[in-house]
């Protein structure tokens, strides 16, 4: 049934089909006429029968048929005549399906008839048996089967056995595996508690393992395996990191610089306004973060009027990271540390996409607020930031930096009621990893390697949830090697493997302080009289094509991502402290791809030079992005204010969208095909604070 080439029709077949078309056209026009005039006579209905039996794809025909059945039923006198009307419809559908058993209209009509209370489900099951023998993978038949079994209230266990039989017959049956996953989802829901789920999943892993070992090149089993893996890892959403991080000591400063008298490692945060951001990062996108689900306890702040904003470029109500600002009243201006405690309550409220509620978690930190010194802030000047190598000094040799990073990297957040399932999950993943390695030692198979990489990744994620240093092995190098292999073996899916490689690499880099330290540098403003220095994370030249693990980098203020393969910067929106960002020499091909940057209110310096903005005439992301065309932008679309000097909305709305809300001081944009003098002038206009554009000082 599958993978069979279609033969070119012979002369005779072509003639026959054009003859059939003539007949069909005749029938069709007759039917449409009846339909229009609401004629449901026997003769009219017979015409529709003829049409639908030879062309079951005629949807209007089926609709006409439904109207005529309703019409007939109204005048039906007794149950026998109702029965015969409906029987006639079932017979018609059966004939139509003989013509084409993949006709949506015909299957739907059959469901509609059965929903009229006409129940002959045994016959339906027999009919299904025939269709599934003809093509065991036919998803129409499987869909209908689910409909019938629900109607007949056939127990899921019995249907599960049916899928087992079908899989035994031929395990390359995607539909059977899929139905199995549907049935098991129901069964696991019905069986309360973890142990039921654990037993079911354990048996299923064993069942599918036979298929994987028998024919590793067959993908159907692997897809089912992937589903099982998701079920194993499935858990309630969790608050994993926050800014400020748990236990940290924050000293606010207006110029980002404070004499380090404090004995404790101190985080300096530069803020012009008397407010600072709080960011909560969850392990998956959640909704419902608000002042009633998150309690903020603070000595000088009630915390109940906080507004939480989702940090997400696409999903409106769901986000992995959420942002709010804590304000300091003017009277708070001592160096006394204020402690802040945040509690995410286990109440229905914060839920994941799948509807699972979040567990209760706490995070707390202290804040020191300096004297209110607005004058000092205004005096601050900025010289042009240069990303040149000589400006950076590696941190690895500086013990104080290591301490600082250590406090930054202390992400652990207390989770109450630690889920008991994790031991079992870990064990299951261990077993699957061992089997996957065994299989790969005998067979070189792409999807096996991909699965092993996914399993190892899952294993690492599970470890990161549990206590540190519990002896479990971390496998990042193996994962990266697997993806490098896959890129060579399967160049068709290169982009996917590059993305996965990037995610794994970032996870590795951010997994502990020591590795982060290797990528941390001190930026020195040579000319500054104060010898001001900033901590810069330099993830340049790592072949990254996608960003991840941003929840571990919430503290980053200066980030170098140049010389990678980034096509998108999704994830950066969580880095609310980011002030300096280098994205030069990547593969960003449109302004719309920079949309996440819109949310970075602290961003002052941006380098997007030598990308591919404007290089591709077709930009698919442009149509996914909110734009004036889809009215998703909101009321603040004031493009017209800037639309003079020959700037057209059509050409530059995307640049306007990204830059209008940014307060950039410095922008590098050269080396992109889109750049011209007109655009530069436009950019100056929409960003009045811009001082440097492509190295030129603006007046």
Partner 1 sequence: MDETASYPPIEPSNFDLIVIGTGLPESILASAASATGKNVLHLDPNPFYGTLYSSLPLNELTSFLRSQSQPLTPENDESTPQLLTLPLYSSIEINSLSLEPIENSRKLNLDLSGPRVLLCSDSMIDLILKTGINQYMEFKSVDASFVGDAEGNLGSVPDSRSAIFKDRSLSLTEKNQLMKLFKLVQGHIGKESGEDDLISEEDLESPFVEFLNKFGLSQKLKSIILYAIVLADHDQDNLENCKDVINTKSGIDHLALYHSSIGRFPNANGPMIYPIYGQGELPQAFCRRAAVKGCIYKNGLDSFNETFETPFGLGLDVRFVVFKKLRCDLGWVLRMPVAALLMDKDGLTYKGVKLVSGQELFSNQLILAPCFMIPSRLTPAAQVANSYDVGRRDAKEKVARGICIAKSSVKPEAANCLVFFPPKSLYPEQKTTVRVLQLSGNVAACPSGMFVTYLSAMCDNAVEGKKLLDAAISALFSLPICGNSENNGIEKLSEHTDSKPILLWSALYIQELTMFQDSFNSISFTPLPDEHLHYNYLLDATEKLYQKIYPNEEFLTQTNLPEEPVDDDSSELD
Asked if 609 and 669 touch (Cβ cutoff 8 Å), the reply is yes
> Segment contacting partner 1 (CB under 8 A): 154-162, 212-220, 648-656, 666-674?
212-220
Instruction: Please compute, for residue 429, the number of CA atoms within 13 A of its CA located in the half-sphere on the CB side.
Output: 26
Q: Report the C-alpha gap between 446 and 293 in whole angstroms.
A: 44
Among 435, 546, 567, 691, binds partner 1 (CB under 8 A): 435
Residue 435 C-beta: closest distance to partner 1, Å: 7
Q: How far is CA 478 from CA 106, 482, 504, in A?
A: 51, 6, 10
**Tokens 């004297």, residue located:** 371
**CB neighbour list of residue 617: distance below 8 Å, 6 or more residues apart:** none
- Residue 146: helix, strand or coil by DSSP? helix
Asked if 549 and 573 touch (Cβ cutoff 8 Å), the reply is no
Asked if 177 and 220 touch (Cβ cutoff 8 Å), the reply is yes
Q: Which is nearer to partner 1, 1 or 77 (CB)?
A: 1
Q: Which is nearer to partner 1, 84 or 164 (CB)?
A: 164
Among 26, 169, 189, 444, binds partner 1 (CB under 8 A): 169
Q: Strands 533-538 and 520-524, how do they pair?
A: antiparallel
Q: Report the C-alpha gap between 656 and 665 in whole angstroms.
A: 16
**CB neighbour list of residue 102: distance below 8 Å, 6 or more residues apart:** 138, 140
> Segment contacting partner 1 (CB under 8 A): 28-36, 438-446, 542-550, 665-673?
438-446
Q: Report the C-alpha gap between 351 and 318 in whole angstroms.
A: 9
Is residue 209 part of the contact set for partner 1 (CB under 8 A)?
yes
Residue 171 C-beta: closest distance to partner 1, Å: 5
CB-neighbour burial class of residue 623 (10 A; exposed 0-12, middle 13-18, buried 19+): exposed
Q: Report the C-alpha gap between 40 and 571 in whole angstroms.
A: 60
Q: Which is nearer to partner 1, 209 or 391 (CB)?
A: 209
Is residue 574 part of the contact set for partner 1 (CB under 8 A)?
no
Is residue 122 part of the contact set for partner 1 (CB under 8 A)?
no
Q: Quick one: which H or E segment has residue 581?
A: strand 580-582
Within residues 660-689, the interface with partner 1 by CB under 8 A covers: none
**Tokens 């940090």, residue located:** 311
Q: Which is nearer to partner 1, 63 or 210 (CB)?
A: 210
> Segment contacting partner 1 (CB under 8 A): 169-177, 498-506, 567-575, 690-698?
169-177
Q: How far is CA 437 from CA 135, 283, 434, 441, in A?
A: 35, 28, 5, 6
Q: Which is nearer to partner 1, 452 or 608 (CB)?
A: 452
Is residue 17 part of the contact set for partner 1 (CB under 8 A)?
no
Q: Residues touching partner 1: how many (CB under 8 A)? A: 16
Is residue 442 part of the contact set for partner 1 (CB under 8 A)?
yes
Binding mask 216-255 for partner 1 (x = CB under 8 A): x---------------------------------------
Among 84, 314, 443, 638, binds partner 1 (CB under 8 A): 443
Residue 44 C-beta: closest distance to partner 1, Å: 41
Binding mask 377-416 for partner 1 (x = CB under 8 A): ----------------------------------------
Q: Report the C-alpha gap between 394 and 396 in whole angstroms.
A: 6
Q: Which is nearer to partner 1, 59 or 168 (CB)?
A: 168
Is residue 448 part of the contact set for partner 1 (CB under 8 A)?
no
Q: Report the C-alpha gap between 642 and 461 in whole angstroms.
A: 48
Q: Which is nearer to partner 1, 172 or 295 (CB)?
A: 172
Is residue 620 part of the contact set for partner 1 (CB under 8 A)?
no
Is residue 623 part of the contact set for partner 1 (CB under 8 A)?
no
Is residue 452 part of the contact set for partner 1 (CB under 8 A)?
no
Among 17, 33, 115, 170, binds partner 1 (CB under 8 A): 170
Measured on CA atoms in the order 399, 405, 406, 407, is the torsion positive or negative?
positive
Measured on CA atoms in the order 285, 290, 295, 298, is the torsion positive or negative?
positive
Q: Which is nearer to partner 1, 170 or 543 (CB)?
A: 170
Among 161, 214, 543, 630, binds partner 1 (CB under 8 A): 214
Among 20, 87, 115, 168, binds partner 1 (CB under 8 A): 168
Is residue 438 part of the contact set for partner 1 (CB under 8 A)?
yes
Binding mask 295-324 for partner 1 (x = CB under 8 A): ------------------------------
In DSSP notation, 488-544 reads: HH-GGGHHHHHHHHHHHHHHHHTSSHHHHHHTEEEEE-TT-TT--EEEEEE--SS--
Is residue 134 part of the contact set for partner 1 (CB under 8 A)?
no
Q: Which is nearer to partner 1, 213 or 496 (CB)?
A: 213
CA angle 84, 87, 90 (to 5 degrees): 160
Among 107, 144, 171, 653, binds partner 1 (CB under 8 A): 171
Q: Report the C-alpha gap between 236 and 64 in whole angstroms.
A: 49
Q: Which is nearer to partner 1, 29 or 441 (CB)?
A: 441
Asked if 339 and 327 touch (Cβ cutoff 8 Å), the reply is no
Is residue 211 part of the contact set for partner 1 (CB under 8 A)?
yes
**Tokens 């309360």, residue located:** 192
Query: Which residue, 407, 404, 413, 408, is CA-closest to 280?
Result: 413
Report residue 53 as tokens. 């039996």
Q: Report the C-alpha gap between 283 and 319 in whole angstroms.
A: 10
Is residue 365 part of the contact set for partner 1 (CB under 8 A)?
no
> Segment contacting partner 1 (CB under 8 A): 31-39, 203-211, 609-617, 668-676?
203-211
Instruction: Please compute, for residue 608, the number of CA atoms within 13 A of its CA located in the half-sphere on the CB side.
Output: 28
Quote the distance between the C-alpha of residue 209 and its chain's center: 28
Report residue 524 as tokens. 């020195």
Within residues 520-549, the interface with partner 1 by CB under 8 A covers: none
> Segment contacting partner 1 (CB under 8 A): 100-108, 168-176, 290-298, 636-644?
168-176
Q: Which is nearer to partner 1, 428 or 540 (CB)?
A: 428
> Segment contacting partner 1 (CB under 8 A): 164-172, 254-262, 299-307, 329-337?
164-172
Residue 443 C-beta: closest distance to partner 1, Å: 6
**CB neighbour list of residue 473: distance below 8 Å, 6 or more residues apart:** none
Among 47, 439, 575, 581, binds partner 1 (CB under 8 A): 439
Among 88, 215, 522, 651, binds partner 1 (CB under 8 A): 215
**Alpha helices (H) in 380-493, listed in sequence order:** 399-408, 421-442, 446-465, 476-489
Q: Report the C-alpha gap between 210 and 288 in whole angstroms.
A: 43
Is residue 210 part of the contact set for partner 1 (CB under 8 A)?
yes
Is residue 281 part of the contact set for partner 1 (CB under 8 A)?
no
Is residue 257 part of the contact set for partner 1 (CB under 8 A)?
no
Is residue 659 part of the contact set for partner 1 (CB under 8 A)?
no
Contacting positions for partner 1 (CB under 8 A): 168-171, 209-211, 213-216, 435, 438-439, 442-443
């Amino acid at each position: 049934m599958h993978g069979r080439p279609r033969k070119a029709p012979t002369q005779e077949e072509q003639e026959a089909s054009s003859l059939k078309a003539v007949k069909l056209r005749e029938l069709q026009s007759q039917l449409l006429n009846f339909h229009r005039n609401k004629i449901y006579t026997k003769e009219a209905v017979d015409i529709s029968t003829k049409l639908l039996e030879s062309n079951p794809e005629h949807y209007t025909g089926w609709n006409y048929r439904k109207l005529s059945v309703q019409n007939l039923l109204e005048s039906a006198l007794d149950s026998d005549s109702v029965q015969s009307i409906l029987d006639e419809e079932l017979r018609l559908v059966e004939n139509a399906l003989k013509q084409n058993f993949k006709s949506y209209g015909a299957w739907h009509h059959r469901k509609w008839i059965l929903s009229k209370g006409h129940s002959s489900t045994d016959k339906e099951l027999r009919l299904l048996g025939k269709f599934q023998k003809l093509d065991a993978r036919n998803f129409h038949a499987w869909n209908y089967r689910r409909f019938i079994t629900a109607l007949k209230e056939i127990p899921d266990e019995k249907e599960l056995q049916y899928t087992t039989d079908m899989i035994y017959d031929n395990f390359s049956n995607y539909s059977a595996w899929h139905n199995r996953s549907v049935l098991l989802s129901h069964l696991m829901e019905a069986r309360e508690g973890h142990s039921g789920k654990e037993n079911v999943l354990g048996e299923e892993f064993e069942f599918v393992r036979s298929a994987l070992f028998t024919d590793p090149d067959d993908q159907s089993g692997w897809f089912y395996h992937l589903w099982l893996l998701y079920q194993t890892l499935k858990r309630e959403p969790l608050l994993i990191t926050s800014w400020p991080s748990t236990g940290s000591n924050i000293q606010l400063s207006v110029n980002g610089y404070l004499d380090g008298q404090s004995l404790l490692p101190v985080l300096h945060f530069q803020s012009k306004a008397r407010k600072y951001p709080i960011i909560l990062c969850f392990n998956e996108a959640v909704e419902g973060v608000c002042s009633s689900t998150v309690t903020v306890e603070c000595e000088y702040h009630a915390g109940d009027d906080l507004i939480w904003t989702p940090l997400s470029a696409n999903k409106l109500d769901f986000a992995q990271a959420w942002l709010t600002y804590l304000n300091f009243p003017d009277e708070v201006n001592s160096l006394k540390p204020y402690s802040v405690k945040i509690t995410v309550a286990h109440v229905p409220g914060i839920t994941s996409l799948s509807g699972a509620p979040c567990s209760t978690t706490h995070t707390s930190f202290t804040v020191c607020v300096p004297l209110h010194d607005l004058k000092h802030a205004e005096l601050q000047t900025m010289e042009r930031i240069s990303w040149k190598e000589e400006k950076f000094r590696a941190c690895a040799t500086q013990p104080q930096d290591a301490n600082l990073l250590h406090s930054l990297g202390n992400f652990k957040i207390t989770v109450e009621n630690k889920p008991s399932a994790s031991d079992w999950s870990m064990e299951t993943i261990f077993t699957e990893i061992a089997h996957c390695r065994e299989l790969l030692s005998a067979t070189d198979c792409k999807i096996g390697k991909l699965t092993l990489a996914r399993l190892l990744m899952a294993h690492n994620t599970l470890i990161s949830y549990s206590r540190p240093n519990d002896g479990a092995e971390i496998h990042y190098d193996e994962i990266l090697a697997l993806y490098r292999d896959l890129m060579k073996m399967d160049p068709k899916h290169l982009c996917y493997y590059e993305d996965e490689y990037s995610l794994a690499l970032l996870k590795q880099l951010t997994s502990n302080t020591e590795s982060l330290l290797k990528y941390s540098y001190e930026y020195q403003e040579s000319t500054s009289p104060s010898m001001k220095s900033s901590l810069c994370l330099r993830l340049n030249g790592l072949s990254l094509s996608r960003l991840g693990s941003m929840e571990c980098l919430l503290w980053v203020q200066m980030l170098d991502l140049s010389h990678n393969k980034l096509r998108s910067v999704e994830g950066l929106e969580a880095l609310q402290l980011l002030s300096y960002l280098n994205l030069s020499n990547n593969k960003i091909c449109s302004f719309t791809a920079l949309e996440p940057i819109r949310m970075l209110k602290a961003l002052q310096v941006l380098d997007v030079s030598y990308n591919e903005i404007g290089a591709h005439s077709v930009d698919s992301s442009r149509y996914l992005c909110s734009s004036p065309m889809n009215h998703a932008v909101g009321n603040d679309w004031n493009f017209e204010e800037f639309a003079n000097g020959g700037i057209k909305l059509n050409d530059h709305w995307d640049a306007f969208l990204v830059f209008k809300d940014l307060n950039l001081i410095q922008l590098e944009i050269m080396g992109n095909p889109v750049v011209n003098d007109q655009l530069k002038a436009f950019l100056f206009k929409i960003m009045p604070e811009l001082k440097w554009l492509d190295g030129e000082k603006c007046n």
